[in-house]
A = this chain, B = another copy of it.
């Protein structure tokens, strides 16, 4: 149990290491640059995670090229193993309801390029329904509350609802784009001028 939520860090590390081998310090910088807007990555969780991944054989230490040893400060560079790549694929494609959560969604989204359209749609829609549930539950709870709320609380509610609603709208656009892209892919009527990527 408890295996669903907490594994996000693992996914984030595996995904980052997929591009290029990294050591802890720089890995943290990468993660904070990539996802710092949504959450902060700390050593207190990063290093234990690296150790665990190493023990599982999903990552491995990379010895530096012998010629470059001379001046280097001692650092431990990790790279993804073949098992690690498999695991990354599994984590990405088997993304369950845990992936719609606040802390997880951003990480999954950041590695969408490694996934299939079907998986992307599932995550996007799951995230959306999660947010809509939240919206509903807060709204009905608020409606039931007869007590008068002070202006600060009201403003907080207003702002919170607006933020979540905006997020839902963003998801709607992404879902629409995703659908358009995949239907076009099915029936590629050489419309050309598209696919500038």
Residues of A within 8 A of B (CB): 19, 29, 32-34, 36-38, 106, 109-110, 112-113, 134, 137-138, 141-142, 145, 147, 150-153, 155-157, 159-161, 163-164, 166-167, 170, 174, 197
Contacts and interface: CB of A to CB of B under 8 A. Distances in A.
Contact of A37 (B113, B155, B157): B157
The secondary-structure label for the interface of chain A is: helix
Given A151-B197, A170-B159, A145 B33 contact: yes
User: For the complex formed by this chain, how many copies does it contain in all?
Assistant: 2
B32 A160 contact: no
B151 A34 contact: no
Given A37-B161, A155-B174, A166-B166, 11 more contacts: A29-B141, A32-B137, A32-B141, A36-B137, A37-B138, A37-B157, A106-B156, A109-B152, A110-B152, A163-B163, A163-B167
